[in-house]
Structure 1
Amino acid sequence: MDDDGDDIFMRSWTGTIIGPLSSVHEGRIYQLKLFCDKDYPDKPPTVRFHSRINMACVNPDTGLVEGKKFHMLANWQREYTMENILTQLKKEMAAPHNRKLVQPPEGTFF
């Protein structure tokens, strides 16, 4: 998912999530990359956090949102949008199993 200045097909996107209130993520700004291959929207994009984060659905070494652990990607429907993905990830941050996990220092990246 490298940046490609010649991305004429608009396959590479940058997303931002502001951490939800009343969680360890509150006030943090998370940067993500979303990459849509030629099969999008029939297949989900690849989603990778650039900002370090500790979440059950995120690979701790790469920042990749693992489809099997993130319901929206596992059950992808072509009607879903990138905004839906970001919104659902923010909700996942606030979920009981993620909301209190110890986080890497703010401002660190994968």
Structure 2
Amino acid sequence: MARVPRNFRLLEELEKGEKGIGDGSCSYGLEDGDDIMMSHWNGTIIGPGHTVHENRIYSLKIVCGELYPDAPPLVQFISRVNLPFVNQTEGTVDPAKLPVLAHWTRNSSIETILVEIRREMGSFNNRKLPQPPEGTVF
């Protein structure tokens, strides 16, 4: 089977991101529409209901390097959040602590990451973690 080149894959993701993901609880798009390498992305996650994250909007930066989709992108929260896989100094997501990044496959995507982070926010261990004041950033 032929391997889809990086830019074709990112074009597919951009088109899907512009249409919105599922129920609208996660979204993503290019940081700059003129980024011809499609490296720098913004992501948004609306916190899951019945958790400390409910009604909060979290912003993230995602950088797809030259090896994407063979290698996972770098993911960093802009909005402050207290989760076990997020560095509390700079907001970076530790790939070793988030399963979707630790077990990255070529079939994974930006959407997969955002949906998985949101799912982790609602997990039993994370749903009641004390959070920084809403609106604070890294």
**1:56 maps to which residue?**
84
Could you tell me the TM-score, scaled by structure 2's length? 0.75
Which amino acid in the other structure matches residue 7 of structure 1?
D
Counterpart of 2:131 in structure 1 is 103
Please provide the CA RMSD for this pair: 1.3
Which consecutive aligned stretches of 4+ in structure 1 deviate over 6 angstroms post-superposition? none
Q: 1:1-110 to 2 correspondence within 5 Å?
A: 7-110=35-138
The letter for the 1-side match of 2:65 is D
* Bigger helix share: 2
- Quote how far apart the aligned CAs of 1:6 are: 5.7
Whole-Å separation in 1 of the counterparts to 2:33 and 2:55: 31
> Could you tell me how far 1:7 is from its partner in structure 2?
2.6
Deviations 1:47-99 (A, max 9, x none): 00000000011011111010110000000001111111100000000111111
Q: Paired residues, what number?
A: 108
- Take 2:34 and 2:56, find their aligned partners in 1: how far apart are those partners? 31
SS at match of 2:58: strand
Identical amino acids, percent of aligned pairs: 53
Looking at structure 1, the residues matched to 50 and 100 of structure 2 have their Cα atoms a distance apart, in angstroms, of: 23
TM-score by length of 1: 0.94
Structure 1 residues without counterparts, runs of 5 or longer: none
